[in-house]
Structures are given as structure tokens and as C-alpha cells.
Structure 1
Amino acid sequence: MELIGMLDSPYVRRAAISLRLLGIPFKHRSLSVFRNFDEFQQINPLVKAPTLVLDDGSLLTESSLIIDWAQAQSSRRTLMPADRLAFTRAIRLVGLALAASEKSVQIVYEHKRDADKRDEGWMTRVKGQLRAAFQRLESELQDVDGWLFGTTPGQADVSIAVAWGFAQLVVADVVDAKAYPNVRAFAERAEKHPDFAALPQT
């Protein structure tokens, strides 16, 4: 099977790292929805990244759904904790990380517009939402010096580290790394794990 999309996308990268953690073999094809639009459209008419092309030719989209599918296939393990309270905390953290990724993407796309067509009021709101997401994560990661739910990385670990890496890649002027030392240290540790290092964002 093939995972289609650029690893500088937080959604493509979280799907790719999750597949690898779950022991699901795949090939990665690095296609841009912008630069490689026509080629991508031949694979998936929606031109949506990530796209997972299954062995039977079926197409899966949306990183969270791809990860759900992968967990159902994997005989290795799940990326979510089994304990009810831990599971609730994990999905809360994943939600914060996905919100941070979404707001980072919105800022990137808004900057692609001509300057005179940008909505500065909306941009101020989005930047505030982005910082709020990372501030919540900063609090959640206080005194965390390993993985969040056990001895191996799970989905919350993946989503947080990937969201932080993406934000630092594209909106570092909005998200000052010095303001979020816990998130920064957590992501730096995660990036040293082999399954992260094998799939760098750039």
C-alpha cells in the first residue's frame, strides 16, 4: 500500500508515523497537492492528503480515519491507552494537538492570499487559538519526562510532537518556542525515536 502526501503536512506525517508504530508496511509517495496536483488527481480525484491507497486499490483519507483503520488491522497494539480515564485524557490531548495543527495550516493558507485580501481580525483570532492550544499542552506536559501513557509512543505523543514540529516549521514567528519549554522538550525527545526519525518533516 502507499501513503500519498508530503511529510511537511502534519496530517500526512502523523498518519505515517502511526502506521510505522503499528507495524503496518507501506510505501510513502511524496506528492504535493499544489505542485503535483495533476499526478495526485490521477490517484485520488479529491486531491486530499493524506491518501492511503490500499492493496485492493481502495482509497482512505483523513489522518484520524487512516489511523483508526490501521489500529483495526494491527496485531501489534493500539496507540490509545486502555484505561478509561487515560483514554479520555489521551483524546483530549490529541484534540488540542489537532487544533494546533489546524490553526497553523489556516495561517499558512491565509498568507498565500494577497496582502490586501487578508482578514487581519480573523488572523488575530486564529493566532490566539493556536497559542491557546499550545498553552494548554504546555500545562499538560509539566513534569512529563517520557511517553504520556506507557513505555512506547502513542497517538497523543505522535500528534503533539508532529503539531509542534509543523508549527515551528511554518509559524515560528507566532509560536515562540521559548514560551512553551515543556512542549518543545517533549517534541525534541519524540523526534529522536526511530519511527519519528525515519519520517522527518523536511
Structure 2
Amino acid sequence: MILIGQYDSPFVRRVAIALKLYGMHFEHRPWSTFGDADKIARYNPLRRVPTFVLDDGYSLIESATILDYLDELAGTEALIAERGPERRRCLKTCALATGLADKAVSLLYEHVLRKDQQSRIWVERCETQIGDVLDELEKQRAAIKTPFWFGVKIGHSDVAVACALRFVREAHPNLFDPARCPALADHAARCEALEVFQEIVQPLIPPKG
């Protein structure tokens, strides 16, 4: 199996961390959506990452789809409840985290690629969405007393939130205030201290316009 994409992407990173937690072997190709778009296009016409190539050559795209496949392989060891309210709560938290990351990526591209032609309306909308999601995730995490989102074992919610938070803090440090979100700051620190998070990491280098 091949994972395509750089670890500065919160989406690629969450897939790679899940693979490591599951003990699944994979080849990593750290291709950039800018510099290596033509290479990625051979496997994904959207030229997006993560792209995940199975042993038979079939490609999966989007982190949620890839993780769904990995969860199927993992069976009872999956990082999410198999069914019921806990599964739905986990999926919602993951959706908030990936939405947060998506808005942070969009805002980064707006700053870097459009520079002096930025849309103030778009920037303000992204910043508002990021702030509102951070507030919601902070409220959720502050109400939880266990080490991780759904108990004592790490799960997809924990990974998705931690990866999104790292990206936001690196791309837009002015938008994350640890004093305003202490529960999230503590959650991020707990996850980033884990060996797998320290192994699967790449400092963010913004694309050049």
C-alpha cells in the first residue's frame, strides 16, 4: 500500500498515524500537490492528497474514505465504535476537525496565492468558521475527563483534532489562543507527546505563489 502526500497536510498525517497505530505497513511518497501534481494525477485526477494506492493498484481518495477502508481491515481494533451513538459522535467530531483543517488550508491559500488581491469577505468568513469550530471543540473536550475523546484509548477523533490543531497553529498562529482553548491545547500536547505523532510530522512550509 502507498500513501501519497506530505505530512504537513493534516489529512495525510491523520491517515499515516492511523496506519502506524494499526501496525499496517505502507510506502510513503511525500509528493506535493504543487510540485508533484502530474505524478499525483496518475492516481487521482483531482491531484489532491491524501491518495492511497492499494496493492492491486486501485486508488482511494479523501482521508475519510481511506480510514473507512483501514477500519474495515482493523476490524474490532478500529479506532472508532462499530455502530451506535458513540460512532456518530466520533464521526461528528472528526467532521468538525477536518472542516477546521479545510478552512485553515483555504485561508492559507488565500493569503499566499492571492496576496494583495485577497477577498476580505472570504477571509472573514474562514476566520469566523475557524473560531466557531474551535469554540465547539473546546466545549466538547472540556466536558470530557478521560485521557482521550472517548475513553482511555486513542481514537480517530483524537487524531483528527490534534492534526487539525497543529496545522492551524502553524498556518495561522493568531487564530488559536491556548488561553481561550485550554482543553484543546492540553489535548494537542498529550497527542503530540506520543511516539507516533513525533514520528509522523513535518513542519509546515507554505506554498509559494
Which runs of no fewer than 5 residues in structure 1 stay unpaired?
Answer: none
Task: Within 5 Å, give how 1:1-202 maps onto structure 2.
Answer: 1-75=1-75, 77-82=77-82, 84-142=84-142, 143-202=144-203
User: Are 1:81 and 1:149, in contact at CA under 8 Å, matched by a contact in 2?
Assistant: no
Question: Alignment length, in residue pairs?
Answer: 202
User: Are 1:3 and 1:51, in contact at CA under 8 Å, matched by a contact in 2?
Assistant: yes
User: Are 1:22 and 1:76, in contact at CA under 8 Å, matched by a contact in 2?
Assistant: no
Please give the alpha-carbon distance, in whole angstroms, between the structure 1 residues aligned to 2:82 and 2:41: 39
**Identity across aligned pairs (percent)?**
33
Please give the alpha-carbon distance, in whole angstroms, between the structure 2 residues aligned to 1:145 and 1:165: 21
Q: Secondary structure at the match of 1:146?
A: coil
AA matched with 2:135: Q
Higher mean alpha-carbon deviation, 183-192 vs 110-119, is at: 110-119
User: Are 2:44 and 2:61, in contact at CA under 8 Å, matched by a contact in 1?
Assistant: no
1:79-108 deviations in whole A, cap 9, x for unaligned?
A: 112462322321221121112111101101
1:104-148 deviations in whole A, cap 9, x for unaligned?
A: 011011112333421101211110110110111111111535112
1:10-34 deviations in whole A, cap 9, x for unaligned?
A: 1111111112222321121111011
Please give the alpha-carbon distance, in whole angstroms, between the structure 2 residues aligned to 1:66 and 1:83: 18
Please give the alpha-carbon distance, in whole angstroms, between the structure 1 residues aligned to 2:190 and 2:107: 27
Please give the alpha-carbon distance, in whole angstroms, between the structure 2 residues aligned to 1:198 and 1:115: 33
Higher mean alpha-carbon deviation, 78-87 vs 105-114, is at: 78-87
Please give the alpha-carbon distance, in whole angstroms, between the structure 1 residues aligned to 2:114 and 2:151: 47
User: Are 2:149 and 2:158, in contact at CA under 8 Å, matched by a contact in 1?
Assistant: yes
AA matched with 1:183: L
User: Are 2:104 and 2:171, in contact at CA under 8 Å, matched by a contact in 1?
Assistant: yes
User: Are 2:146 and 2:152, in contact at CA under 8 Å, matched by a contact in 1?
Assistant: no
User: Are 1:23 and 1:74, in contact at CA under 8 Å, matched by a contact in 2?
Assistant: no
Q: TM-score, normalised by structure 1?
A: 0.92
User: Are 2:80 and 2:87, in contact at CA under 8 Å, matched by a contact in 1?
Assistant: yes
Please give the alpha-carbon distance, in whole angstroms, between the structure 2 residues aligned to 1:58 and 1:82: 25
Q: Secondary structure at the match of 1:113?
A: helix
Aligned-residue offset at 1:171: 0.9
Q: TM-score, normalised by structure 2?
A: 0.89
Please give the alpha-carbon distance, in whole angstroms, between the structure 2 residues aligned to 1:114 and 1:23: 41
User: Are 2:37 and 2:47, in contact at CA under 8 Å, matched by a contact in 1?
Assistant: yes
